Chain A
Amino acid sequence: MPILAVTGAKGGVGSTAMVAGLAGAWSRHGKAVLALDLCRQNLLRLHFGLDWHERDGWYARLAAGQDWTDAAWRTSERLGFVPHGQLPREWVGLVYALDDTHWLADELASLALSGDCRVLLDTPLHGRERVQALTAANHVLVVLPPEPLSCGLIEELEAELLSYGIRPDRLLYTLNRFDPVRQLDRDVELLLREMLAERLAPLPIHRDEAVREALAMRQQVADYAPQSQACDDYLQLATWLSIRIEAGAKPR
Chain B
Amino acid sequence: MSDRWTRWLLASGAIRHPEDAGSLGTVLLSLFLVAPAEGWRAWGRQIRHLFPHVDFDRLRPSDVLRIVLQSLWLLVVRLPGEARHGPDPSRLLRKGRRRWGERRRVKSAMRLQWQRFKSWAVRHFPALLDRTRLRGSVEHAALHPFWDHWLARYACYALAVLLAVICITTPFDVASQALFVLLLLAVALWVRRVPGPVPTLILVVFSITVSTRYIWWRATSTINDDTLANLIAGVVLLCAELYAWAVLLLGFFQTSWMLRRKVVTLPTDTAQWPTVDVFIPTYNEPLRVLKPTVFAAMALDWPRDKLRVYILDDGSREEMRQFAEEIGVGYIIRERHNHAKAGNINHALTLTNSEFVAIFDCDHIPTRSFLQVTMGGFLDDAKLALVQTPHHFFSPDPFERNLNTFRKVPNEGELFYGRVQDGNDLWNATFFCGSCAVLRRGPLEEIGGIAVETVTEDAHTSLKLHRRGYRSSYLNLVQAAGLATESLSAHIGQRIRWARGMTQIFRTDNPLLGKGLSLAQRLCYGNAMLHFLYGIPRVVFLTAPLAFLLLHAYTIYAPAMAIVLYVLPHMVFATITNSRMHGQFRRSYWGEIYETVLAWYITLPTTIALLFPKLGKFNVTAKGGLVEESYFDWGITKPYLVLMSLNVLGLVAGVYRMLTGPNDELGTVLVNMAWTGYNLFLLGAALAVAKESRQVRVTHRVHTRLPLTLHLPDGKCLPCHTVDYSEGGMAIELPHAVKLAPDTPLYISLRRSGRSFSFPCLSVFASADRLSLRFAALSREQEMDLVQCTFGRADAWLRDEVRAHEQTPMHGLRDIFRLGRDGFGLLITQVLDYLDPLLSRLARLSHSLATLLPRQPALPIEGKS
**Are A227 and B718 CB-contacts (below 8 A) given A180-B749, A181-B711, A203-B751?**
yes
Which residue from B714, B719, B755 sits with its C-beta under 8 Å from A186? B755
- Interface pair A208/B756, CB less than 8 Å apart: no
Distance, CA A181 to CA B754, complexed state (A): 15
Which residue from B709, B736, B755 sits with its C-beta under 8 Å from A206? B709
Complex interface: chain A residues within 8 A of B711 (CB): 179-181
| Closest A residue by C-beta to B756 | A180
Which residue from B714, B717, B755 sits with its C-beta under 8 Å from A229? B717
- Interface pair A180/B758, CB less than 8 Å apart: yes
* Contact pattern, B 741-757, Cβ under 8 Å of A = 1, otherwise 0: 00000010101001111
Interface of B is mostly: strand
Which residue from A185, A189, A210, A232 sits with its C-beta under 8 Å from B716? A210
Which residue from A181, A193, A204, A228 sits with its C-beta under 8 Å from B718? A228
Complex interface: chain B residues within 8 A of A207 (CB): 715, 717
Residue B735 interfacial (CB < 8 Å):
yes
- Interface pair B716/A209, CB less than 8 Å apart: yes
Distance, CA A181 to CA B757, complexed state (A): 8
Min CB gap A192→B, angstroms = 10
| Closest B residue by C-beta to A189 | B755
- Interface pair B755/A208, CB less than 8 Å apart: no
| Closest A residue by C-beta to B707 | A232
Interface centre among A193, A229, A230 (most CB of B within 10 A): A229
Distance, CA A227 to CA B718, complexed state (A): 7
Complex interface: chain B residues within 8 A of A210 (CB): 716-717
Q: Identify 20 new A-B residue pairs, CB closer than 8 A, beyond the known A181-B758, A209-B717.
A: A180-B709, A180-B747, A180-B757, A181-B711, A181-B749, A185-B756, A186-B755, A186-B758, A189-B754, A189-B755, A190-B755, A202-B754, A203-B751, A207-B715, A208-B716, A209-B716, A210-B716, A227-B736, A229-B709, A229-B719
**Are A230 and B717 CB-contacts (below 8 A) given A181-B758, A186-B755, A186-B756?**
yes
Residue A48 interfacial (CB < 8 Å):
no
Classify chain A's interface size: 20 to 34
- Interface pair A209/B715, CB less than 8 Å apart: yes
Which residue from B717, B736, B754, B758 sits with its C-beta under 8 Å from A208? B717
| Closest A residue by C-beta to B757 | A180
Interface residues of A in 205-250 (CB under 8 A from B): 206-210, 225, 227-230, 232
Classify chain B's interface size: 10 to 19
Complex interface: chain B residues within 8 A of A227 (CB): 718-719, 735-736
Interface residues of B in 728-769 (CB under 8 A from A): 735-736, 747, 749, 751, 754-758
Complex interface: chain A residues within 8 A of B714 (CB): 209
| Closest B residue by C-beta to A227 | B735
Interface residues of B in 361-417 (CB under 8 A from A): none
A interface residue numbers (CB < 8 A to B): 178-181, 185-186, 189-190, 193, 202-204, 206-210, 225, 227-230, 232
Complex interface: chain B residues within 8 A of A181 (CB): 711, 747, 749, 758
Which residue from B716, B747, B749, B754 sits with its C-beta under 8 Å from A228? B716
Complex interface: chain B residues within 8 A of A204 (CB): 756
Min CB gap A249→B, angstroms = 25
Which residue from A189, A228, A230, A232 sits with its C-beta under 8 Å from B756? A189
Complex interface: chain B residues within 8 A of A185 (CB): 756
Distance, CA A193 to CA B384, complexed state (A): 38
Interface centre among B717, B719, B754 (most CB of A within 10 A): B717
Distance, CA A190 to CA B747, complexed state (A): 20
* Contact pattern, B 11-30, Cβ under 8 Å of A = 1, otherwise 0: 00000000000000000000
| Closest B residue by C-beta to A202 | B754
Distance, CA A210 to CA B747, complexed state (A): 17
- Interface pair A206/B735, CB less than 8 Å apart: no
* Contact pattern, B 252-279, Cβ under 8 Å of A = 1, otherwise 0: 0000000000000000000000000000
Complex interface: chain B residues within 8 A of A209 (CB): 714-717
Give 6 pairs: A residue, B residue, CB < 8 Å, sorted on A: A181-B711, A186-B755, A190-B755, A210-B716, A228-B718, A232-B719
Complex interface: chain A residues within 8 A of B747 (CB): 180-181
Complex interface: chain B residues within 8 A of A180 (CB): 709, 711, 747, 749, 756-758
Distance, CA A203 to CA B717, complexed state (A): 15
Complex interface: chain A residues within 8 A of B715 (CB): 207-209
| Closest B residue by C-beta to A197 | B754
Distance, CA A202 to CA B752, complexed state (A): 11
Min CB gap A147→B, angstroms = 16
Min CB gap A190→B, angstroms = 6
Complex interface: chain A residues within 8 A of B736 (CB): 227
Interface residues of B in 539-559 (CB under 8 A from A): none
Distance, CA A227 to CA B769, complexed state (A): 13
Min CB gap A199→B, angstroms = 13
Min CB gap A140→B, angstroms = 22
| Closest B residue by C-beta to A183 | B758
Complex interface: chain B residues within 8 A of A232 (CB): 719
| Closest B residue by C-beta to A204 | B756
- Interface pair A228/B755, CB less than 8 Å apart: no
Pairs A-B, 5 closest by C-beta atoms: A180-B756, A229-B717, A209-B715, A180-B749, A227-B735
- Interface pair B751/A228, CB less than 8 Å apart: no
Distance, CA A189 to CA B717, complexed state (A): 19
Interface centre among B714, B715, B747 (most CB of A within 10 A): B715
| Closest B residue by C-beta to A185 | B756
Complex interface: chain A residues within 8 A of B716 (CB): 208-210, 225, 228-229
Distance, CA A189 to CA B753, complexed state (A): 12
Distance, CA A63 to CA B48, complexed state (A): 68
Distance, CA A85 to CA B395, complexed state (A): 63
Interface centre among A203, A208, A210, A225 (most CB of B within 10 A): A208
**Are A193 and B719 CB-contacts (below 8 A) given A181-B747, A227-B735?**
no
Interface residues of B in 702-730 (CB under 8 A from A): 709, 711, 714-719
| Closest B residue by C-beta to A208 | B717
| Closest A residue by C-beta to B715 | A209
Min CB gap B310→A, angstroms = 29
| Closest A residue by C-beta to B718 | A229
Min CB gap A236→B, angstroms = 9
| Closest A residue by C-beta to B717 | A229
Distance, CA A186 to CA B751, complexed state (A): 11
Complex interface: chain A residues within 8 A of B749 (CB): 180-181
Complex interface: chain A residues within 8 A of B757 (CB): 180, 186
* Contact pattern, B 42-75, Cβ under 8 Å of A = 1, otherwise 0: 0000000000000000000000000000000000
Complex interface: chain A residues within 8 A of B735 (CB): 227
Complex interface: chain B residues within 8 A of A186 (CB): 755-758
Complex interface: chain A residues within 8 A of B754 (CB): 189, 193, 202
Distance, CA A185 to CA B717, complexed state (A): 16
| Closest A residue by C-beta to B750 | A180
Min CB gap A18→B, angstroms = 16
Min CB gap B716→A, angstroms = 5
Min CB gap B114→A, angstroms = 48
Interface centre among B747, B749, B756, B757 (most CB of A within 10 A): B756
| Closest A residue by C-beta to B746 | A181
Distance, CA A229 to CA B736, complexed state (A): 12
Min CB gap B761→A, angstroms = 11
* Contact pattern, B 74-85, Cβ under 8 Å of A = 1, otherwise 0: 000000000000
Distance, CA A203 to CA B751, complexed state (A): 9
Min CB gap A239→B, angstroms = 14
Distance, CA A206 to CA B718, complexed state (A): 10
Min CB gap B262→A, angstroms = 28
| Closest B residue by C-beta to A193 | B754
Distance, CA A190 to CA B757, complexed state (A): 12
Distance, CA A6 to CA B749, complexed state (A): 27
Distance, CA A229 to CA B718, complexed state (A): 5
Interface residues of B in 322-342 (CB under 8 A from A): none
Distance, CA A207 to CA B747, complexed state (A): 13
Distance, CA A207 to CA B714, complexed state (A): 12
Min CB gap B781→A, angstroms = 11
Distance, CA A17 to CA B499, complexed state (A): 67
Distance, CA A200 to CA B718, complexed state (A): 23
- Interface pair A206/B751, CB less than 8 Å apart: no
Complex interface: chain B residues within 8 A of A179 (CB): 711
